Each structure stands twice: as structure tokens, then as C-alpha cells.
Amino acid sequence: MTSITIIGGGIFGLSCGWEIARRGAAVRIFEARHLGAGASGGHVGALAPHAPENWNPKKAFQLDSLLMAPGFWAGVEAASGLASGYGRTGRIQPVPDAAGVDRLHDRIVAAARQWPAPLPMRLTDAPATTLLPASPTGLWLEDRLTARMNPRAAIAALAEAIRRQGGEIIEGRHVCPEDTPAGTTLWAAGLAGLATLSDDLGRIMGKGVKGQSALLGHAAPDAPQVFADGLHVVAHSDGTTAIGSTSENQYSHPDVDHQLDQVLARARAICPALADAPVLDRWAGIRPRAQSRAPLLGPWPGRPGHFVANGGFKIGFGMAPKIASVMADLILEGRDGIPDAFRLG
């Protein structure tokens, strides 16, 4: 049996681990802290598509992944016996002004050209939701492609699926490149992995961007998610609603949620239904953003048998099903389906 070592217990490491284990390989995952300790431990889980204008391979890759997601997460749930929180509930966005209406017609046409017909984008004057943001024009942009994910539930479901498939997960153990077992290794170590790559390759491969989010006690399990004023409001299936997130390029305290009170106030103003919802949990953490702004996938240059999956930033959960598939193809079968823009070279 082929044996694969994976470094990192976030969404990329676990989704690749599940896909590789599902195909019959033996998987061992090392996580330096605990599963989902980094960027994968937030609350929001907004699986939103890229804008359909100016289509390119990165957007096409993400679309493939979003379309793979229902089957991928259904398989994880069946194997683990745990809910992942996945659901294609759609998204609404208020239209702020008349000029925006004109611009959005072009976006709607582009969506019709690139997205599957059963998952359209349209303007509506009567969205069916209790999480309704105010709209100065009385119009909202609605799409049916956007989905949600409960990040912490998804991490738990992936880990259990891997264990039930015979994989091993070891938490609290840091592994550096020189200490990895012989054989094939996939590096999915988030921010620390970007730093190690940068040192090894002699160029900056990416950086951390801080995010903050909160989880509220508000049940709206069937509501489409809201995107307004730069904030995501995502109702989860377990009776909670997530809000976030910030994008801070400069920060001195990675784990301090000093901007979150402002985020909460903005979210409550956007969606009055959240006005009295209690705060159940607060999160702040650093997300790994690759220098190219696209995920980094493929062989680690100069290290035969070592591969990389990193740089998920805001789209890691949405990209995970497709990334898991192409990395399993490459590692197990030597088939390379990685877009050029994602390569480390």
C-alpha cells in the first residue's frame, strides 16, 4: 500500500488526506497544534464564487470545485457519520445605487455564460429571507451558486472520515522538512508552511493576513448568506449565524479580536434580525495568502517526493474538493491537472 505523510491539519491537509485515503493509500497526518488551529478554525464558511466577468483558469478551477462540493461533502458525511454543515443556500447582496443596477446587468449576463443554468444570478425585489439587509434601491442581487460550510464541523467530519478509513492523525507534533519520514510528503502547513517555503526557495512565497469573526446565537438555517458593506453573514444549519471577516495586512497581536466589536455593530446594522442575538464565540487568526493570490500547488522544487498545497486564504474551503482531487491525481497517479497560475515555479 502506498504511504503518504501530510503535514498540516487544516482544510487543505485534511481534504487531501481524505481523498488520498479514499483512493486506497495509507495516510498519516501531523499537525503541530490541533486540527483547524490556524485559518481553518474560523466561523464564516462562505463558499462564494468569483465574479463571472473576465473569466480565467483560476475562476474556472474554483467553479469546478464549487460544483464538486455536494458530492464531496456527502461522501465525507457518509464516511464519518458527522455533519459538515455544507449547504447550497445561495447569497443576496443589496444594490446600493442606480449605477450599480446597470453594472450588474453585465455580471448577470457573464454568470449566465459561465455558470450552470440551474444556478443563476438575478436581480430581485423580494428575496425570501429573514436575514434581509436594507437596500437603497429596493433591489438585491441574488445567486444560487453560493454555498455555506461550517468550518469547524467540516474539519471534525474530515478527520473522522480519515480515521475510519484507516488513516492516522497525530496532533501536537511539529515536523520540519529535514525530519519527515522517507517516502512521499504533502506540505499543507498554512502560514508556517509559507515561511518555510520562502526560506527554502529564497523568495517570498506569501504572507499572513489577519481575520476576525464571530458566531451568534441566531437560527436561520435555510436563509441565503448575506454579503454587504464588505461583511459576510452566514446562517449555519446548527442554529448559529457567523459574521466576518476583517482583512488586516498589518497586525501586532495575531489572536486579539480588537476590531470585532465594530464588525458586530456593522453586522447588526446590516441585518436587524441579529440585533439581540448573543455572541457565542469570537475568533481571530492569520490566514495564509500566497504572493500570487492563488493557491500554491504541486511539487516542492528541489525536494523530490515532496509536494505543497497552501495559500487558501479566503477560498480554502471552496477550493478544497478540487484541490484534493488534483493533488491525489498528481501524488498517486502522476497526472498533473494543476493550472499554471497555481504552480510554485
CATH number at residue 221: 3.50.50.60
Phi/psi for 166 (5° steps) reads 100, 0
74-132 pLDDT, tens digit per residue, is 999 999 999 999 999 999 999 999 888 888 999 999 999 999 999 999 999 999 899 99
Q: Are 263 and 290 in contact (CB under 8 A)?
A: no
Dist CA 107 CA 145 (whole Å): 14
50 has a pLDDT exceeding 80: yes
Domain boundaries, position 71: 3-342
Dist CA 110 CA 100 (whole Å): 15
- Average pLDDT value for residue range 6-33: 97
Confidence of residue 66 (pLDDT cuts 50, 70, 90): very high
212-265 pLDDT, tens digit per residue, is 999 999 999 999 999 999 999 999 999 999 999 889 999 988 888 899 999 999
Q: What sign for the dihedral angle of Cα 124, 127, 133, 137?
A: positive
The structural domain count of the chain equals 1
| pLDDT in the model for residue 59 | 96
Q: Which of 268, 37, 9 is nearest to 159 (CA)?
A: 9
Q: Which three cell numbers stand for residue 220?
A: 436561520
CA dihedral 293→294→297→301, nearest 10 degrees, is -40
11 has a pLDDT exceeding 90: yes
Going by C-beta distance under 8 Å and a sequence separation of 6 or more, which residues neighbour residue 89? 146, 147, 148, 222, 223, 224, 225, 235
- Strand-by-strand arrangement of the 231-235 sheet: 121-124, 140-143, 91-94, 225-228, 231-235, 241-244, 206-216, 279-290
